[in-house]
Amino acid sequence: MKIRGAFTALVTPFRDGQVDEDAYRRHVEWQIEQGIDGLVPCGTTGEAATMDHEEQGRVIRMCVEQVKGRVPVIAGAGSNSTREAIELTRLAKEAGADATLQITPYYNKPTPDGLVGHFKAIAKAVPLPMIIYNVPGRTGLNLAPKTLARIAREVPEAIGVKEATGDLKQCTEVVELCGTDFLLLSGDDFTVLPLLSVGGMGVISVVSNLIPAKMHGLCAAYFDGDQTRAKALNIEIQALSRAMFMETNPIPVKTALAYMGRCLPGFRLPLAPLEEKNAEPLKTVLKAYGLLQ
């Protein structure tokens, strides 16, 4: 399993409140056709927080089945309850995921010892490579590089981190303390290229739901040494990336896919449809990128 390049944090299409399997499989297939390097089902963008365990396991399995081993699948399986994270990780492993994405426990506000213990317990119960997800804006907790280095030393299954802080100083410290074999992935579409430049190996992206070929191309250009093209693509995606966060993710990206005819614009509460005032600005950006007529 090679984790490098652009990985899409997949949306989960819904129809009448249920997972739209046909739309989901089509979206997975289109991502692969467009050259994406890997897929991440059941993360934040996939609205996993609104799924029960059986449903989450089924969505991961659908993704794995459709991928057919062509790209790595990193399945969202985290929770603020260690016992629940273990159960979700077990479901992900049974579904055939190559690795899991494990968010730092939210709400509980664990100490560094608690964080190390959390990931150690998951790895002991269900040995499977894991990418740790640091997203303070959603968890209220920033995983300090020193604590992450402890996890990297004490939990062999922890092979990398998805850094969604946008803090290049912190990301550089992660590489310094955890070493170059520990994967640093961007969780922030706005700083993909800068993060690659300090030792990052790719991105788990929201905007690549819409432009998988461009995000793949950005990463590939960087690794091929084509800095001119990488810089150009990085600038090119900025306006679309901003539009994906005009409201809470995944509201804009899923709405954009609906405008493009790729899925229905269904959400589960507490997420609500895109505000009417944002519909035209979103359509304007999509038209500018040639994604909408």
CB atoms < 10 A from the CB of 1, how many?
12
Q: Nearest 5 degrees, angle CA 252-CA 219-CA 282?
A: 15
Whether residue 107 lies in the annotated active site? no
Whether residue 162 lies in the annotated active site? yes
* CB half-sphere exposure, 149, CA atoms < 13 A: 14
Q: Nearest 5 degrees, angle CA 129-CA 130-CA 134?
A: 165
E strand or H helix at 147? helix 145-154
**Burial bucket for residue 152 (CB in 10 Å: 0-12, 13-18, 19+):** buried
Cβ contact 229:223 at 8 Å: no
- From 133, 214, 222, 254, active-site residue: 133
**Burial bucket for residue 270 (CB in 10 Å: 0-12, 13-18, 19+):** exposed
- From 162, 214, 222, 254, active-site residue: 162
**Which residues neighbour 147 within 8 Å (Cβ) at sequence distance 6 or greater?**
112, 115, 116
The region, left, alpha or beta by phi > 0 then psi within -120 to 50, assigned to residue 261 is left
Torsion 45-50-52-53 (CA) sign: positive
Residues annotated as catalytic are 133, 162
